[in-house]
Chain A
Amino acid sequence: MKFIGILLFLSMQFTIFSTDDLDSLLGDPDSTVADTNEDDSLNLDGFLDQKDQIDENEPESEEAESVLDQILEDESAKVSIAYSIKAGVINSFLSSDIMSENYFTESYVFEPLLSNPVYFKIDLRPMSYLRFYTSVETRVDVDTVSYVTPEIDQLFLEYTISDMGEIRFGKQKASWGKALILENFADYASEIEDSISARLFFPVLNNGLSLYLYTNEELFHADVEDWKKIGLSALLDTAIGDYNFGFSARLERTEKAGFTGFVTTVLGFIDITSELSYLVSHESTYSDEISWLTSFLYEHPETGIQLGAEYIFNPSRLFMNDFKDTEFSHTAGLFLFSRKTRLFGWKTAAKWVHDFTQHSGEVSIAFSRGILPKVSMDVIIPVSYNNYVIEYEDVDLPGSSTSLILLFRLSDTFTF
C-alpha cells in the first residue's frame, strides 16, 4: 500500500503546478494570454475583433445533414488487416518456501513469450440498415514457419429495423458484468463468443434491452447429443438521474440459471457499484451460488489517474448440504492506473489482489512506453504469495514467485 501511495504522490508531483508558480506566471487574469505569449493569435479577445456574421436563415443544406448520413446512410466497405507481434521473456524467481518443498530444482523458471496474431476484418454496409462483418484470426507457427489454420473470430449479419430495434445473427462477442480486476462473475454473455447466436436489441427505457439466443456450435454436428445446450441471455441497462442500473439473466438447460442486478451511482467524486448475482442449480448435487461485488472508482480530473477498489463476497456454501464447514469466500483488489500521466515517461499501472480464504494473492506493477514508431516496451513485475497462480499470455506463472516480464510489442492496422 505504501508503494502505491508513493507512486500516486510522485505521479501527481510531475503534473500539477503549484499555485505559487501559476500566480507568478499568469498575472492578471484578463491579460494573461496576451502578456505571456508573443503569438498574437493567443490573444483571445482578438477573436472578437470582428463581429460574427451569423446567417439567420441558414438553409438545411446537404452538408448540414451529413453527420448523420456519414453514420447511417453512406454505403461503405472497409477491409482491414491488423497485426500485433509480441515477443519477450518471463523470468520467475521462486520464493524459498516453494524451493524447500522440492517442487523445483532450479531457483528460477525461464519462459520465452511469442505471439503474433493477424486479424483480417471485413466490414460491409451496402445499405444503411444492413451490415456484414467478419474477423478472421491467424498466426505464424514459429516451429514450422507456416500460417496456422485461420479461426473465425466474429462473423455476423446485422439488420436495423429503423427505430424499432436491431437483429444480429452469427458468431459475435459481448462482455457484461462490472468487475474490472476480480472474477467477472456476472458476464452471462461470455459463452456467446464460442457459439452461434442471434441478438435482438430494443431501444427502451433510456437505453435498451439486449436478448441473446445462443447455441453451442456443435449443435450442427449430427453426432453430437449436446443439442440441448441452447441458452438465452438478457440484459437491461438503463439510467435515471444519478443512478445507472440494470438486470441480466441467463437461462440454459445444462448450466445454472443466473440472475443479476446492479447499480452504479456517485458519492462525491467516487463511483460506487454494487452487483449481486444468483446462480440457481438445476440439479440437487450442485449448490446454488451467490456472488456480491462492491466496487469504488475514483478518477483524478486533472491527471486522469484512476484508483479503484473491488471486493467480492461469495457466501455460496450457505446452500451446501454440509453447512457445518461453511466458509465464506472473500476476495479484494486494489488498482491504480494512470490513463495519461506518465512516470518518467512510462505509463504505469499497479494492482493488488488478495484471496482471504486461501490467504494468497498477488501484487503486480506494470510500466509501458513507446520506444519506436509502432513499437512499445512493457515491463511487468508480478509477485505472488502462498501459491497464488497468475496467468499471463496463457502462461501460468509459478505460485509464490517474483517474475520479471519483459515484452516488446509491434502492432499496426491497415485499412483499405
Chain B
Amino acid sequence: MKILVLLFLISFSVYAEDSELLAEIDSLVTFDHTDLSAQYDISTYIPGTGTRKESVLMFRRDAENKFVILWVGPDSKKGKGYLKVDNSIWLYDPKDSRFTASNVRNRLSDNTIRISDLEPLRLQNDYSVTNTEENIQLGAYNTTLLSLEAVTETDFPKRNIWIDENNLIRKIEDYSLSGELLRTAVIAEYTALGNKYAIKKVIFVDHLKGAEIDGRFTNERTTIDISRHSDKELPQMIYTKSFLERNS
C-alpha cells in the first residue's frame, strides 16, 4: 500500500512539475495585461508554382481571448479580415461588404498556418507531457524535448516541442492522432517586450503538401517575418466588426 501511495505521490509530483513547465512556456509568450500588435509578412513557397506573399496586421488581447487580423497585401486580399472572440470567428470580405460567422475555420489562408498559430499558447490547458528528454543539441541550442498529447480538442493531437535554456520554444513537430508528421516549425528569432517574448521569425514546413521537382519531393514551406511589435494598449474599438469594415 505504501508503495502505491509513494508511486502516486511521485507521479503526481512529476505531473505537477510538467504542468508548471508548460505554464512557464505559455506565460513567456502570453500578454495577459497588455495588447500585442505586429505585422506578419507571410511568404509561402509552393514547389513548382512559385512564392506567394501576403501581409497581415494582427491585434491581440489575450486577457479577453480575442484578436483581429487585417490583410494589407496583396491587393487581391487587401481589406479582408478576421475577428475572433472566444471560439467564434467573423470573416469579412470587402467585395460583398458582408460578414460570415464560423466556428470551424482553422486556417489563416491557403497555407499551412493555423489560426491557432497566431493565438496565445495554451499548452498547459491543451496538452499533457508524455515524455521528456534533456540535453538535446539543436543547432546552437541545448534544448529539452517535450512530447505532448492533447487533452482537449486541438488542431494537433500530438506535438513534440524543443525548448531552450530560457524555456522559449525553438522547434515544434505537429502530428496527427495516428502519429503522422504533419508539420514542422522552427522559431528562429524572438523579440522581448517587457518581460514577455514575441516571435520575430518562424519557418513552417508542411509535410502533406509539396511537389516533385527534378525527381525530388519538395515540401511547401512558409516563412513568417514578424515586425513592428508593440505591447501598447489598444482601443476597444479595434476588436469589433466595425473596425474591419472601416479598414477594408
Q: Is B180 in contact with A47, judged by CB distance below 8 angstroms?
A: no
**Interface size for chain B: under 10, 10 to 19, 20 to 34, or 35 or more residues?**
35 or more
The residue that A244 contacts in the complex, of B75, B101, B230, with Cβ under 8 A, is B101
Give the residue name and chain of the B residue nearest to A32 (CB): B207
Bound form: Cα–Cα A389–B83 in Å: 37
Give the residue name and chain of the B residue nearest to A269 (CB): B104
Q: Is A44 in contact with B218, judged by CB distance below 8 angstroms?
A: no
Which residue, B101, B186, B193, B232, has most C-beta atoms of chain A within 10 A? B101
Bound form: Cα–Cα A79–B163 in Å: 49
A175 part of interface (Cβ distance < 8 Å): yes
Q: Is A45 in contact with B186, judged by CB distance below 8 angstroms?
A: yes
| B residues near A36, Cβ cutoff 8 Å | 216-219
Known: A50-B140, A66-B228, A166-B237. A25 touches B217 (CB 8 A): yes
* Contact pattern, B 203-215, Cβ under 8 Å of A = 1, otherwise 0: 1010110100000
Bound form: Cα–Cα A331–B171 in Å: 51
Give the residue name and chain of the A residue nearest to B97 (CB): A173
B138 part of interface (Cβ distance < 8 Å): yes
* Contact pattern, A 309-340, Cβ under 8 Å of B = 1, otherwise 0: 00000000000000000000000000000011
Known: A203-B240, A242-B88, A269-B104. A48 touches B37 (CB 8 A): no
Q: Is A163 in contact with B235, judged by CB distance below 8 angstroms?
A: yes
Q: Is A163 in contact with B237, judged by CB distance below 8 angstroms?
A: yes
Give the residues from 221 to 247 in chain B that come closer than 8 angstroms, CB to CB, to chain A.
221, 227-230, 232, 234-237, 239-242, 246-247
Known: A22-B207, A243-B88. A63 touches B192 (CB 8 A): no
A371 part of interface (Cβ distance < 8 Å): no
Which stretch in B8-16, B105-113, B117-125, B126-134 binds the other chain? B105-113
Q: Is the interface of B mostly helix, strand, loop or mixed?
A: strand
Give the residues from 132 to 174 in chain B that come closer than 8 angstroms, CB to CB, to chain A.
138-141, 170-171, 173
Number of residue pairs spanning A and B whose beta carbons lie under 8 angstroms apart = 198
| B residues near A70, Cβ cutoff 8 Å | 57, 72
Bound form: Cα–Cα A163–B203 in Å: 37
Bound form: Cα–Cα A75–B37 in Å: 20
A194 part of interface (Cβ distance < 8 Å): no
B25 part of interface (Cβ distance < 8 Å): no
The residue that B232 contacts in the complex, of A17, A26, A56, A68, with Cβ under 8 A, is A68
B98 part of interface (Cβ distance < 8 Å): yes
Bound form: Cα–Cα A17–B220 in Å: 13
Q: Is A29 in contact with B181, judged by CB distance below 8 angstroms?
A: yes
Q: Is B229 in contact with A64, judged by CB distance below 8 angstroms?
A: yes
A54 part of interface (Cβ distance < 8 Å): yes
* Contact pattern, A 58-83, Cβ under 8 Å of B = 1, otherwise 0: 10100111111011100000000000
Q: How far is the CB of B5 from chain A (nearest CB, A)?
A: 39
Q: Is B107 in contact with A301, judged by CB distance below 8 angstroms?
A: yes
Which stretch in A95-103, A215-223, A233-241, A402-410 binds the other chain? A233-241
| A residues near B234, Cβ cutoff 8 Å | 68
Q: Is A32 in contact with B140, judged by CB distance below 8 angstroms?
A: no
Known: A36-B216, A52-B190. A63 touches B66 (CB 8 A): no
Give the residue name and chain of the A residue nearest to B98 (CB): A175
Q: Is A19 in contact with B180, judged by CB distance below 8 angstroms?
A: yes
| B residues near A45, Cβ cutoff 8 Å | 138-139, 171, 186
A256 part of interface (Cβ distance < 8 Å): no
Q: How far is the CB of A155 from chain B (nearest CB, A)?
A: 15
Q: Is A239 in contact with B205, judged by CB distance below 8 angstroms?
A: no
| A residues near B171, Cβ cutoff 8 Å | 44-45, 48
Residues of A within 8 A of B (CB): 16-17, 19, 22, 25-26, 29, 32-33, 36-38, 42, 44-52, 54-58, 60, 63-68, 70-72, 131, 158, 160, 162-163, 165-166, 173-175, 178, 180, 201, 203, 206-208, 210, 237-244, 264-266, 269-271, 273, 297-299, 301-302, 304, 339-340, 413
- In the complex, besides A55-B192, A66-B228, 16 extra interface pairs with C-beta distance below 8 angstroms are A22-B180, A22-B207, A25-B217, A37-B216, A37-B219, A42-B221, A48-B186, A56-B192, A58-B192, A63-B227, A68-B232, A70-B57, A207-B239, A242-B87, A242-B103, A244-B88
